[in-house]
């Protein structure tokens, strides 16, 4: 072992501390396994925290149809506000407290609060030695032999030291499916073609560079009468004038399109414009603090800007020809777009009173945990995806692609539930939104099992979906549920000396594993028919 290099050995190595990674770690630890959990930032939580995206959730999330650990996370978030914030009596007494009263979720809250709650959830397991947490560590190499991953080398981004972790099972919970490339695991990037999947909404032919836009989110409050205008970003003139062929104008505007119909609409920042298809103000879309919930004068409204105007679609992060330099340039472009949109809001955005600009818009870097006010990392909607024993296609879950009224596919190897529209943002291949209705769906175990590798499992947006079905499987509660299923699966396999594919393909063993999910963890594996066939 060279200087600056250390080694560890554990039952389970989880690379990526996002929603799926944390859920997998907590589940495996609860079931008696030792875990090393790594995360490239200094916050656990991925899209909920480091990416600053309030949760996208379904209508039954408050019921028993949430993954058990995700339900606990939501309870703890509400308790955190009740313990620490000056809530009004009405808000404090509300069992369904929603700190931000945002449109997108029943529980819009600050990313830093979610980060604190996740730290609380892993704290007893860290203290007991079942979970070792390596923050600010990114994978740089995977060591394989045959069809197994023996170890992964991680680099500390703070000082460059490296650690190699050997594990019986390796879980790729990274945001881009990094281990799939490092370990040479068979995977897909970008869009499959209709000639491959038969999906009605897939492009005619495959395009690995067809990937959903990323968004570099940020937190804002509004202080009327003050001036918090940021410096003019380097690319401001570009974003002010460039028009994508599928977009109604420059992104530095309040004009975009309705994702379902692609009809042009115009937003307002603080007031709805019902005449132009914007039925609520942008400000309330992902608001995470609503001053009406707190004692007079205690809080300002705080909102997260994750709006179409900051969707970066000029270049992909993955695929042929995308090297480190190209990826860095794309990330820099995304950051520049976000800062440019903020500068436009502060200086040129039209106001209902006929004036321009809202200079009182102020970045809240404390909310995102960064010096500059942008999230720690961009919001990643799409990753490398494993070639799986079962790939979920539009024909399994899409309303238009299913027999009329049939509901979603019923999978015998179900390991959890999810619900969201097939919602693909504009892509790096020049496609506009693909936003179509999907039924409430199941997560099949086959989508978590790679076609060849025996001891690596996905626990995020890298499962066996297509480019199309990624659009409904990529959200917060689904990712958490996938992580719980994977944490239980590796424990089940270690206890019995079985690889995951033998669990899936043996009905008796599959039933035993599913009983572990339902009887021990409390997971619900099937929707009742009235929900499974529900349409919007």
Tell me: the pLDDT tens digits for 434-472?
Answer: 999 999 999 999 999 999 999 999 999 999 999 999 999
Contacts with 245 (C-beta within 8 Å, 6 or more apart), sequence order: 430
Cβ atoms 46, 79 nearer than 8 A: no
Provide the angle, in degrees to the nearest 10, between the axes of the packed helices 476-496 and 19-30: 30
Distance separating alpha carbons of residues 158 and 136, to the nearest angstrom: 7
CATH of the structural domain 5-94+110-192+381-392+447-515, one choice from 3.50.50.60, 2.40.50.140, 3.40.630.30, 1.10.150.120: 3.50.50.60
Cα(411)–Cα(290) distance, integer angstroms:
41
d(CA 389, CA 475): 22
pLDDT of residue 2: 52
pTM listed for this prediction: 0.97
Residue 240, pLDDT score: 96
Contact yes or no for 342/363 (Cβ under 8 A): yes
Are 281 and 272 within 8 A, CB to CB?
Answer: yes
Q: Which residues of the chain are under the pLDDT cut of 70?
A: 1-4, 274-276
CATH 3.50.50.60 range(s) for the chain read 5-94+110-192+381-392+447-515
The answer to whether residues 163 and 153 touch, using CB atoms and an 8 Å cutoff, is yes
Task: Give the Cβ contact number of residue 246 at 10 Å.
Answer: 14
């Amino acid at each position: 072992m060279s200087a600056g290099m250390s080694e560890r050995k554990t039952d389970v190595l989880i690379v990526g501390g996002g929603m799926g990674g944390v859920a997998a770690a907590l589940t495996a630890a609860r079931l008696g396994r030792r875990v090393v959990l790594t995360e490239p930032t200094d916050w656990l939580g991925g899209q909920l925290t480091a990416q600053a995206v309030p949760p996208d959730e379904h209508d039954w999330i408050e019921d028993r149809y949430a993954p058990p650990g995700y339900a606990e996370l939501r309870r703890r978030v509400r308790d955190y506000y009740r313990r620490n914030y000056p809530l009004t009596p009405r808000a404090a007494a509300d069992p369904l407290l929603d700190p931000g009263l945002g449109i997108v979720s029943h529980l819009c809250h600050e990313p830093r609060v979610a980060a604190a709650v996740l730290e609380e959830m892993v704290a007893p397991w860290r203290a007991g030695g079942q979970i070792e947490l390596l923050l600010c560590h990114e994978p740089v190499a995977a060591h394989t032999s045959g069809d197994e991953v023996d170890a992964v080398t991680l680099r500390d981004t703070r000082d460059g030291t490296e650690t190699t972790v050997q594990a019986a099972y390796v879980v790729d919970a990274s945001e881009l499916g990094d281990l799939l490339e490092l370990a040479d695991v068979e995977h897909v990037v970008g869009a499959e073609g209709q000639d491959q999947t038969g999906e009605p909404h897939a492009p005619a032919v495959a395009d690995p560079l067809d990937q959903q836009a990323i968004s570099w989110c940020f937190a804002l409050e509004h202080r009327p009468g003050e001036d918090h205008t940021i410096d003019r970003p380097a690319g401001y003139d570009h974003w002010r004038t460039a028009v994508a062929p599928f977009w109604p104008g420059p992104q530095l505007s309040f004009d975009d399109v309705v994702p379902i119909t692609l009809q042009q609409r115009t937003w307002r920042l603080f007031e709805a414009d019902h005449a132009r298809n914007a039925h609520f103000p942008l400000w309330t879309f992902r608001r995470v603090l609503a001053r009406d919930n707190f004692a007079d004068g205690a809080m300002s409204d705080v909102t997260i800007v994750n709006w179409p105007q900051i969707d970066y679609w000029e270049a992909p992060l993955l695929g042929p020809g995308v090297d480190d330099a190209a990826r860095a340039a794309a990330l820099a472009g995304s950051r520049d777009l976000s800062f440019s949109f903020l500068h436009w809001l502060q200086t040129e955005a039209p106001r209902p009173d006929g004036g321009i600009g809202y200079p009182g818009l102020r970045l809240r870097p404390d909310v995102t945990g960064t010096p500059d006010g942008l999230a720690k990392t961009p919001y990643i909607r799409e990753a490398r995806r494993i070639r799986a024993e079962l790939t979920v296609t539009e024909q399994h879950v899409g309303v238009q692609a299913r027999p009329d009224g049939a509901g979603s596919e019923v999978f015998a190897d179900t390991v959890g539930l999810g619900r969201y529209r097939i919602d693909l943002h504009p892509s790096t291949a020049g496609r506009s939104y693909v936003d179509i209705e999907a039924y409430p769906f199941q997560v099949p175990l086959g989508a978590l099992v790679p076609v060849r590798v025996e001891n690596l499992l996905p626990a995020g947006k890298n499962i066996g979906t297509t480019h199309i079905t990624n659009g409904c499987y990529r959200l917060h509660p689904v990712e958490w549920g996938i992580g719980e299923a994977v944490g239980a699966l590796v424990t089940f396999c270690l206890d019995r000396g079985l690889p995951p594919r033998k669990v899936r393909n043996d009905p008796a063993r599959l039933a035993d594993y599913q009983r572990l999910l339902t009887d021990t963890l409390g997971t619900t594996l099937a929707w009742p028919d009235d929900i499974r066939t529900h349409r919007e």
